Amino acid sequence: MKRFEHAIPAGIICAIGMWVAYVSYTQTPAEAFVFPRLVATVFVVLAAWTFVRSLMPDAKVQQAISAATWSNILPGVAVAAIYVFWAGKALGFYTATTLAVFVLISYYDPAPHRDVRSWGKRILITAGFMAVMYLLFAMLLGVFTPREVLFR
């Protein structure tokens, strides 16, 4: 059973990747989903490769994830789930992404939360990240993003 500790999560990730790819390939208009299709295809290939590698007899099986590691991972997973299943559509891509990035940076940044300079740094990093995202998606790739709640 220890050998399948890596195969089970890899299989779940692969199945999620195939679902995301299926959704991206069945949506219209097709030109709006060119970039998501590319990302989904690469994701499925990497997930399938990881799943197959986890089933190989020579796969290295290491320790299971500790409770401390789970406690570090779960807040990020919760923010990602809220972003994917609600905020992205309800608030729009750029607003939801700004909030998600800011929350994640604020949670995982080891700088003290009582320091005003650390909040300024978090805001600048979030603004810089969003500027790059905007330039990448809107200007360079011409990707359609969900409409913004503030700019309808």
Domain boundaries in the chain? Answer: 1-64, 65-152
Q: What is the pLDDT of residues 122-151, one digit of tens each?
A: 999 999 999 998 888 777 777 666 666 555
The token duo for 37 is 């299709």
pTM of the model: 0.66
Q: What is the pLDDT of residues 98-124, one digit of tens each?
A: 999 999 999 999 999 999 999 999 999
Inter-residue long-range contacts of 54-59, CB under 8 Å, 24+ positions, other chains counted: 54/6, 54/7, 54/10, 54/11, 55/7, 59/3, 59/6
Integer Cα distance of 136 and 138 in angstroms: 6
Highest mean pLDDT among 34-48, 80-94, 111-125: 111-125
